[in-house]
A and B are shown apart, each in its own frame.
Chain A
Amino acid sequence: MLSPGSGNTVIKSKLIGRRMFLITAAKAVVMVGLVGRLISLQINQATKYKSLSDKNRFREWKLAPERGAIKDFFDTEIASNEPLYQVHLVPENAKDLDNLFVRLKAILNITEQKVSYLKRVIKKQKPWEPVIVSENLDWSDFSRINLFLHELEGVEPIVSVARTYPDNSSAHILGYVSQISKKDLQTKEYLKDVAVPGMAIGKTGLERKLDEQIIGKVGYQRYEVNAYGKRIREIKIDQGQAGKSFKTTLDYEVQKYTNELLKGKAAAVCVMDVYNGDIVSLVSSPTFEPNQFVHGLDKAYWNSLIKNEKKPLANKALSGLYPPGSTIKTLVALSALENKIIRPLDTFKCKGKIELYGEKFHCWEKDGHGVVNLRKGIQRSCDVYFYEVARKLGVDRLSETAKRFGLGKKVLSDFVEERSGVVPNTKWKKKFIGQNWYLGETLHSGIGQGYFQSTPLQLCLMTAQIANGGFQIKPRIIFDERNDNLRNYLKHKNENPNESLPIDLLVSNFNLKPLFKNQEHINLIKDAMFSSSNEPGGTSYRHRFENPKYTFAGKTGSSQIKRFTEAQREAEVKQESLPYKDRDHALFVAFAPYKNPQYAISVLVEHGGSGGKAAAPIAKKVIKKVLERHELRRNIGSSNGESV
Chain B
Amino acid sequence: MLQPRSIQSSLGIRDKILSIDYILVFSILVLGIVSMFAMYSTDGGEFKYHTNSHILRFCVFFGLFFIVSFISIRFWHETSYLIYIGVFILLLGVKYFGLTSSGSKRWLDLYFMNLQPSELMKIGLILFLAKYYHRISIEGINSFRYLILPITVLISPVILVATQPDLGTSILIAAGGVIVAWLAGVRAKFFVISGFATIALLPIAISFLKPYQKSRILTFLNPERDPLGAGYQIIQSKIAIGSGGLFGKGFLNGSQSYLDYLPEKHTDFIFTLFSEEFGFFGSLFILFLYAIIISRIIKIGNLTRSNFGKLYCYSFATAFFIYVAVNMMMVLGLLPIVGSPLPIMSYGGSSMMAIMFGLGIVMSCKIYKDVPVN
Query: Which chain A residues have a beta carbon within 8 Å of chain B's beta carbons?
Result: 1-4, 8-9, 11-13, 15-17, 19-20, 23-24, 27, 30-31, 33-35, 37-39, 41-43, 45-46, 48-50, 52-54, 56-57, 224-228, 232
Shortest distance from the beta carbon of A223 to any chain B beta carbon, whole Å: 11
Extra A-B contacts (18), CB below 8 Å, given A43-B246, A227-B259: A1-B135, A2-B135, A24-B298, A34-B325, A34-B328, A34-B332, A38-B280, A38-B284, A42-B245, A43-B245, A45-B242, A49-B239, A49-B242, A53-B240, A57-B259, A225-B259, A226-B258, A227-B261
Query: Given the known A-B contacts A52-B243, A53-B256, A227-B259, are A16 and B310 also in contact in the complex, defined by CB atoms under 8 Å?
Result: yes
Cβ of B275: which chain A residues have Cβ within 8 Å of it? 38, 42
* Interface bits B198-211 vs A (CB < 8 Å: 1, else 0): 00000000000000
Binding site secondary structure of chain A: helix
Residues from chain B with a CB closer than 8 A to the CB of A4 are 135, 137
CB<8 Å pairs between A and B, sample of 19: A8-B137, A12-B307, A13-B310, A16-B311, A16-B314, A23-B318, A24-B298, A30-B325, A31-B325, A34-B287, A34-B329, A37-B334, A38-B284, A43-B280, A46-B243, A49-B238, A53-B256, A57-B259, A226-B260
| Nearest 10 A/B pairs, CB to CB | A49-B242, A53-B243, A46-B245, A227-B260, A226-B259, A42-B280, A49-B243, A41-B242, A50-B243, A227-B261
Question: B residues within 8 A CB of A39?
Answer: 280
B239 and A19 contacting across the interface, CB-CB below 8 Å:
no
Query: A224 near B255 (CB under 8 angstroms)?
Result: yes
Pick the contact of A19 from B183, B280, B283, B284 — CB < 8 Å?
B183
Of chain B, the residue at the smallest CB distance from A226 is: B259
B71 to chain A, nearest CB (A): 23
* Chain A contacts for B374, CB-based, 8 A: 3
CB within 8 Å of A: which B226-276 residues: 236, 238-246, 255-256, 258-261, 275
Most chain B beta-carbon neighbours within 10 Å: one of A4, A9, A16, A30:
A16
B330 vs chain A, min Cβ distance (A): 11
Known: A41-B332, A42-B283, A52-B242. A31 touches B259 (CB 8 A): no
- Bound: A13/B374 CA distance, A: 15
Of all chain A residues, the one with the shortest Cβ separation from B291 is A31
B239 with A53: CB separation less than 8 A: yes
> Which chain B residues (300-343) contact chain A, with CB distance < 8 Å?
301-302, 307, 310-311, 314, 318, 321, 325, 328-329, 332, 334
**Do A38 and B283 form a contact, CB below 8 Å, given A2-B135, A12-B185, A20-B183?**
yes
**Is there contact, CB below 8 Å, between A16 and B307?**
yes
- Which of chain A's residues have a CB closer than 8 A to the CB of B246? 42-43, 46
Contact residues of B: prevailing secondary structure: helix
Chain A residues within an 8 Å CB radius of B314? 16, 20, 23
Q: Is the CB–CB distance between A50 and B298 below 8 Å?
A: no
Does the CB pair B298–A19 fall under 8 Å?
A: no
Contacts of A35 in B (CB 8 A): 284, 287
Q: Which residue of A lies closest to B134 (CB)?
A: A4
In the docked arrangement, what's the CA distance between A3 and B374, Å?
8
A46 touching B242, Cβ below 8 Å: yes
- Cα distance A52–B294 in the bound complex, in angstroms: 35
Alpha-carbon separation in the docked complex, A41 to B63 (Å): 38
Shortest Cβ distance from B311 into A: residue? A16
User: In the bound complex, what is the Cα–Cα distance between A42 and B298 (angstroms)?
Assistant: 30
Taking the complex as formed, is B22 at the interface, i.e. its CB lies under 8 A from any CB of chain A?
no
Partner of A41, one of B135, B136, B138, B238: B238
Shortest beta-carbon distance, A8 to chain B, in Å?
A: 6
Judge whether A52 and B239 touch: CB under 8 Å.
Answer: yes
B176 within 8 A of A: no
Q: Is B179 on the interface with A (CB-CB < 8 A)? A: yes
Q: Which residues of A contact B318 (CB under 8 A)?
A: 20, 23, 27
Q: Is the CB of A13 within 8 A of B259?
A: no
B196 at the interface (CB under 8 A from A): no
Complex: A57 Cα to B280 Cα, angstroms: 21
On chain A, the residues within 8 Å of B329 by CB distance are 33-34, 37
Chain B residues closer than 8 Å to A57, beta-carbon distance: 255-256, 259
Residue of A nearest to B256 (CB): A53
Q: Does B140 contact A (CB under 8 A)?
A: yes
**A251–B374 CA distance with the chains assembled, in angstroms:** 113
A421 to B338, CA, bound (A): 76
Bound Cα distance from A310 to B136, whole angstroms:
109
Could you tell me the distance between the alpha carbons of A49 and B332 in the complex, rounded to whole angstroms? 13
